[in-house]
Amino acid sequence: MTHTGLFPHIEPFEQGMLPLDSIHTMYWEQSGKPDGVPILFLHGGPGAGSTPAHRQFFDPGHYRIIIYDQRGAGRSTPLGETRDNTTPLLIEDIEILRQHLGIDKWLVFGGSWGSTLALAYGETHPDRCLGFILRGIFLCRTSEINWFLYGLRNFFPEAWREFVTPLSPIECCDILSTYYRLLMHPDPAIHMPAARSWGRYEGRCSTLLPSPETVDYFASDSVALGLARMEAHYFIHNIFLPENSLLENVEKLHHLPAVIVQGRYDAVCPITSAEDLHRAWPQADYVIVNDAGHSAWEPGIQTELIKATEAFKSKL
């Protein structure tokens, strides 16, 4: 996947596998400037994992770039593991990583589910945050989960029809439970087709214009299993947080600098969620990209995210 306007490709100066408990081990890496401003990248999904291209949002001559894969995702092991996998545990994992790397405070950067986890972490540990850069806001409310499962057919009827093709008419009345059952089945002959179908659906809905490259990435076996399983797992458990808790507690972050970047035509995470967040957090800068959908790789979104990382150089 090639992207213009990003910083040059770099390799990590340090990486490792950090044991979290008897089940999970976290992949982490550091790149950029070892004594630079620490910035933490939180990937989407949940379960999507990170890629080398994510390092390129940040000036490697200024930032100490910390990227990791959340439980059950990417290079963390075991891939697609839902046992002991909850939002409070993901918050603890961030603290484990921060302490492991000897970081006092860091700037937090997250899009889609990454924005969810950034808010949840920040509201739990505001004293460990320098500020936030958030994109494609997802507050994981029941209405947003239902939109993802049903509402997207208003804009992507072909993708939705393909998504529900394996389901009976009765199962279509409860897509989440049906997919959850398929995705958790121990037989790869059952869970992998379901994971690829889920990944294709999300990939097809993530960009303003069709992007076969995005679809192929989301539907690839290494991404699809973590993505589909984790999303279904977190959605069916209402992300293990009280409904609307992220908005209700956002005043804990009012004193910290923040930028919210939102695509006007983001179908996966509609702009109403970003609007609700900004109304609850009016101190945050709010940037609407009028010619973009959901993906961080949309040209306008990418540009605004890099502008934000550059602007934070003078804020911190």
- Residues acting as catalytic residues: 112, 266, 294
Q: Assign residue 55 a region (left: φ > 0; alpha: ψ between -120 and 50; beta: otherwise).
A: alpha
The rounded Cα 299 to chain-centroid distance in angstroms is 18
Q: Indicate whether this model's pTM tops 0.95.
A: yes
Give, for all 316 residues of the chain, the pLDDT tens digit. 345 689 999 999 999 999 999 999 999 999 999 999 999 999 999 999 999 999 999 999 999 999 999 999 999 999 999 999 999 999 999 999 999 999 999 999 999 999 999 999 999 999 999 999 999 999 999 999 999 999 999 999 999 999 999 999 999 999 999 999 999 999 999 999 999 999 999 999 999 999 999 999 999 998 999 999 999 999 999 999 999 999 999 999 999 999 999 999 999 999 999 999 999 999 999 999 999 999 999 999 999 999 999 999 999 8
- State residue 5's pLDDT score: 84
- State residue 2's pLDDT score: 44
Distance CA 144, CA 19 (A): 33
- Beta strands across the sheet bearing 258-263: 14-19, 25-32, 63-68, 37-42, 106-111, 129-135, 258-263, 285-289
Domain segments of the chain: what residues? 14-139+242-315, 143-239
DSSP 77: B
Beta-carbon contacts of residue 221 (< 8 Å; ≥ 6 apart): 192, 195, 196
User: Phi and psi at residue 259, in whole multiples of 5°?
Assistant: -130, 130
Angle at 47 between CA 45 and CA 50, to 5 degrees: 85
Q: What tokens does 98 get?
A: 């921060």
- State residue 316's pLDDT score: 87
- State residue 1's pLDDT score: 39
Check: CB of residue 226 under 8 Å from CB of residue 183.
no
The terminus-to-terminus CA distance of the chain in angstroms comes to 32
Q: What tokens does 118 get?
A: 């950034």
The top-level CATH class assigned to 14-139+242-315 is alpha beta
Residue 64, beta-bridge partner list: 32, 38
Strand extents, DSSP E, the chain: 14-19, 25-32, 37-42, 63-68, 106-111, 129-135, 258-263, 285-289
